[in-house]
Structure 1
């Protein structure tokens, strides 16, 4: 039996679970953002007055997530120096509501970024069976990191739940299909079914990074670099990836022009 996005959103009631931890991807070089990223890592570029990555941290904190891991490589020491080991809303006196921050320093440990799957596999010992994933170079101010979605996913047999978005101008063909039942689809190139763009926000299960889906050793001690898409497509072919179409504001801050447009727009 397949679990649809609707079923994930309406899972049978059960005792509420604590929010799972989050992994924020911040290891990329940001080649398309040069020269801005020659001296500043992309997640620290300022969007509407604050570092891009801080928008995710604020949303995670507001959603009740209390542990986040940030992977770093290019200029990663600037990221850890900026955010240190905790995040809380300004002026909050309750230390119990602090979001603790940990790091997976790929640049320090291996000399460079390990790509998405390699970086996730490396950070897994600091995460858990289920965790949020978000790339540090997307601006999605309305996304809520909903605890109910995380609880429903944890109770499902899915290996991943993706948030897809309508295709932006820079990715007109999209990435994955979406079935009426809420399954993400690995469509063949000749398919005429609609495709949507992967937002880079997801709920993932650690089992996706073990055989038969992934052959990277636990914790990725050798620092193997590997992309995430092949793992997702393999799991999709087996009906193990669900998805939701997200239609709120979303921007892949991938070029100086997009950054400029965001900062010129009205919040």
Structure 2
């Protein structure tokens, strides 16, 4: 599932007429980088949720055939995005009963997503990819126990952040649908569900050294585009 329902308020005026995932870096839209990475990882079906300018997203990407994928669309009210967990709950009928990969539509990274196909260990409901804290999130989001062993192929225990272990959630994860089943539809953030999963040992994580960019402002978009074109990232 690709999250593409945000309003893109920090990216205005660029997002007044263009949904943020369709903004381009390196000659192609942000969301196309994801679609190509998912296809390379052997994934064949993708759910995309939309809210703001969702019709333009669907018009641009269609059914996904030209990317070698089948895209399922989950449309949300344009004026009130449901937040991450709310969007997932709404899309559960499209996602099925098996674990699914989730990626934010407004990030850019070079991560081999094939490794995530087997990332969710027995008994776990969430596996998060974490990165070094960027300047706009210096305090981080979560901690990792045993970070020295946390690679793309090894799991670490996901913990609340602390002074000794604080990393930023990359917007890339694997979730089990059971984490969301039974929840009512509506506006629902993801963080409380993750905190509960961490407290009960149902979440794991891994550290990713990058490259990774949260493309949240016009300046970051411009800098990322320039870096890609100059082969500096």
TM-score (norm 1): 0.79
CA-to-aligned-CA distance 1:92-148 (integer Å, 9 cap, x gap)? xxxxxx21001000036xx531100000010011012210000000001x21111x5
Q: How many positions carry a matched residue from both structures?
A: 220
Partner Cα distance (1:256, 1:156) in 2: 41
- Residue 105 of structure 1 is matched in structure 2 by 75
Q: Cα distance 1:83–1:230, how it changes in 2: closer, same or farther (>3 A)?
A: same
Alignment of 1:205-220 (within 5 A): 205-210=176-181, 216-217=183-184, 220=185
- Residue 125 of structure 2 is matched in structure 1 by 159
Cα distance, 1:86 vs. partner? Answer: 1.5
Alignment of 1:27-176 (within 5 A): 27-89=5-67, 98-107=68-77, 111-128=79-96, 129-140=98-109, 142-146=110-114, 148-153=115-120, 156-176=122-142
Aligned pair 1:226/2:188, yes or no? yes
Alpha-carbon RMSD across the aligned residues, in angstroms, is 1.4
Partner Cα distance (1:145, 1:263) in 2: 22
- Residue 186 of structure 1 is matched in structure 2 by 160
Partner Cα distance (2:123, 2:221) in 1: 38
- Residue 20 of structure 1 is matched in structure 2 by none
After TM superposition, where is structure 1 displaced by more than 4 Å over at least 4 residues in a row? none
Unaligned runs of 5+ in 1: 1-22, 90-97
Q: Cα distance 1:126–1:175, how it changes in 2: closer, same or farther (>3 A)?
A: same
Aligned pair 1:203/2:174, yes or no? yes
Report if the CA contact (8 A) 1:61-1:88 is conserved: no
Larger-Rg structure: 1
Cα distance, 1:264 vs. partner? Answer: 1.4
- Residue 221 of structure 2 is matched in structure 1 by 259
Partner Cα distance (1:263, 1:242) in 2: 32
TM-score (norm 2): 0.90
